[in-house]
């Protein structure tokens, strides 16, 4: 369904209530290769656009649909996906970087069997890790691809070098933006800064906090036109989420909206987005030789 052509964001949720469940029931795990693991980077040009909330709830929707999902909080300086997820991890990547524990000890299991790898909140050594330290970490992270169908990265906002490297190596990049002009300018700046392989990486736009339906098409058209003209990126419209009071309540309660308000428009639409990812062609260009963390490792050297 083309979200830009629907009459209202509320109508989208109503018409998709049964669709997402039906799609989840039909999806089967592809066979062969490296488990056909795909890495999806959830990113944004600025903070405050709801990037982490989207990442957490989309990861839950994908896990509930039957996929083996790892949510990696790759904001290595100000990680906060654990807050949205509603957990308080005692160990994080901070401890791995200090060589206090092994990586598998900081992978937590959440609702629907979702695996969660937390970053180190406020730990400067992670945000400013040396190339050697990052290379060592990525070597350990590569083993995670064998056990998952999808790895979702919740990256930091902005265009710092480490952020761009995480995003550039992903199979799919989801840019989260609100319809606000400043958010769109920052999203365009992010796309300009990326030098990802245009043939491998797919770029998507998710418009968040929509108040009027016409904002969806207008936001996508303006950003997609600029991205294609100045960067060569074909920016697909992945979906749109409304300005939903249920999200604000969920954040305050530290309960993901997918769990706290499963019938809310945001929860229903994120299940539709998850169903769209779990299609036959989603895993088609994954191969045993094509490792995300290997690509990232090459970029770091």
| pLDDT higher than 70, residue 282 | no
Query: DSSP assignment, residue 150?
Result: E
Give tens-digit pLDDT for 34-51: 456 889 999 988 788 999
The tokens for 98 are 């200090």
Q: Any residues with CB less than 8 A from the CB of 286 and at least 6 apart, and which?
A: 33, 34, 36, 37, 38, 171
| pLDDT higher than 50, residue 181 | yes
The tokens for 301 are 């050297």
Convert 58-109 into a string of H (helix), E (strand) and C (coil): HHHHHHHCCCCEEEEEECCCCCCHHHHHCCCCCCCHHHHHCCCCCHHHHCEE
Q: H/E element holding 260?
A: helix 257-260
The tokens for 91 are 């160990």
* pLDDT confidence of residue 285: 55
Residue count of the chain, please give it.
Answer: 301
Give tens-digit pLDDT for 12-25: 444 444 444 444 44
Domains observed in the chain = 3-20+36-300 (3.40.50.300)
| pLDDT higher than 70, residue 69 | yes
Q: What is the mean pLDDT of residues 183-193?
A: 90
Partners of 174 in the beta sheet? 42, 204
| pLDDT higher than 70, residue 53 | yes
User: Residue 24 and residue 65: Cα distance in Å, rounded?
Assistant: 5
- Mean pLDDT (the chain) is 80
Partners of 236 in the beta sheet? 204
Q: What is the pTM of this model?
A: 0.84
């Amino acid at each position: 369904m083309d979200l830009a052509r629907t009459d209202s964001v509320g109508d989208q949720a109503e018409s998709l209530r049964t669709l997402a469940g039906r799609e989840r029931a039909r999806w089967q795990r592809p066979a062969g290769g490296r488990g056909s693991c795909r890495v999806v980077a959830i990113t944004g040009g600025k903070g405050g656009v709801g990037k982490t909330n989207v990442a957490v709830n989309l990861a839950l929707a994908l896990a509930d649909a039957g996929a083996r999902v790892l949510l990696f909080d790759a904001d290595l300086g100000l990680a906060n996906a654990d807050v949205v997820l509603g957990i308080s991890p005692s160990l994080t990547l901070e401890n791995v970087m200090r060589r206090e524990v092994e990586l598998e000890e900081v992978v937590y299991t959440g609702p629907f069997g979702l695996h969660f790898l937390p970053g180190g909140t406020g730990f400067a050594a992670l945000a400013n890790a040396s190339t050697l330290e990052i290379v060592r970490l990525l070597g350990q992270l590569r083993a995670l691809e064998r056990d998952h169908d999808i790895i979702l990265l919740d990256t930091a906002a902005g265009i710092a070098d480490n952020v761009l490297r995480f995003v550039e190596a992903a199979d799919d990049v989801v840019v989260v933006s609100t319809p606000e002009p400043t958010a769109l300018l920052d999203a365009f700046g992010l796309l300009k800064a990326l030098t990802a392989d245009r043939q491998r990486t797919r770029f998507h736009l998710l418009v968040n906090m929509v108040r009027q339906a016409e904002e969806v098409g207008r936001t996508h058209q303006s950003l997609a036109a600029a991205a294609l003209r100045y960067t060569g990126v074909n920016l697909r419209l992945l979906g749109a989420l409304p300005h939903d009071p249920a999200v604000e309540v969920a954040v305050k309660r530290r309960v993901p909206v997918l769990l706290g308000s499963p019938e809310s428009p945001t929860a229903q639409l994120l299940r539709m987005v998850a169903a769209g990812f779990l299609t036959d062609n989603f895993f088609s260009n994954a191969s045993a030789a094509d490792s995300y963390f290997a690509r990232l490792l090459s970029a770091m050297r």
